[in-house]
Amino acid sequence: MNTYKIADLILNMKVRGELLRRQSDRYLSERTHWADITIDISEEFLILKQKENSHLTFDECEYIWTGREFYHKLLDFDGFMLHSSAIAMENSAYLFSAKSGTGKSTHTALWQKHFGEERAIIINDDKPAIRFDGKQFYVYGTPWSGKSDKNCNIKVPLKSIVFIERSDENWIYPLNSKDAIKMILDQTVRPKRIEKLDKLFGLIEELLKSIPIYKMGCNISEDAVRLAFEKIS
């Protein structure tokens, strides 16, 4: 059982495969028997999941199911996951969310091309953690960043969220609360237990009070980056 610090939480986690080990090494912390979260998924469970999902390797099953457990337990600490590519610039975090294959990672890669990788930093390219400290929302890197290994062990104040779709023309507008809630729920882990679902709705309600949320249509160009940055920063 290794000890990690992820999203300002102490996590004890059993790691078997090389994929999860490689991704989580940058989050290693001092060993302790006490933890906010413990993840200890049995080898038998992972073997069963690998048999049920023959297109996945054992390592990939461990990576997926440990991440799933972490994000479910994150709700107990005023946090949730948003399926998005999160980028940090000038101590502000911007999240670009969309269905898989839409181009959110392509868009944030264009931010790095336009502003430079030292100025525009990928926090997490697929599943960043968002936590509320009672006053402000923060975005954190985690080891679970999808097919990409782009994630950093950093904490950055959340500035805005943008839901993107492909478009020949670039455009952006603020979302109303009703549409924003629907889009957030479509791109996060929705717990089955009613008390945890209530907790998620409470966090989203707080989020809408302070964080602007946008819908954006964009093409693969630096013009899209300039429009987004001008509007959301």
Report mean pLDDT in 10-residue bins for the chain, 233 residues: 96 95 95 91 96 95 96 96 96 93 89 95 97 97 91 97 95 96 95 92 96 95 94 90
The strand pair at 37-39 and 9-13 is best described as parallel
pLDDT on residue 133: 96
Alpha-carbon gap, residue 83 to 146, rounded angstroms:
9
pLDDT on residue 146: 84
CATH topology of domain 79-232: Rossmann fold (3.40.50)
pLDDT on residue 194: 93
% of the chain exceeding 90 in pLDDT: 90
- Residue 96 contacts residue 139 (beta carbons within 8 Å): no
Measured CA distances, 2 to 27, 34, 83, 92, 151 (Å): 10, 12, 26, 31, 19
Residue-wise pLDDT for 49-105, tens only, equals 999 999 999 999 999 999 999 999 999 999 999 999 999 999 999 999 988 878 899
pLDDT on residue 126: 94
- Residue 202 contacts residue 209 (beta carbons within 8 Å): no
pLDDT on residue 129: 98
Alpha-carbon gap, residue 12 to 140, rounded angstroms:
18
User: Rounded to 5 degrees, what are φ and ψ at 67?
Assistant: -65, -40
The domain spans of the chain are 2-77, 79-232
Cβ neighbours around 140 below 10 Å, total: 25
Q: Tell me the HSE value of 127 on the side-chain side, using a 13 A CA sphere.
A: 23
pTM for this one? Answer: 0.94
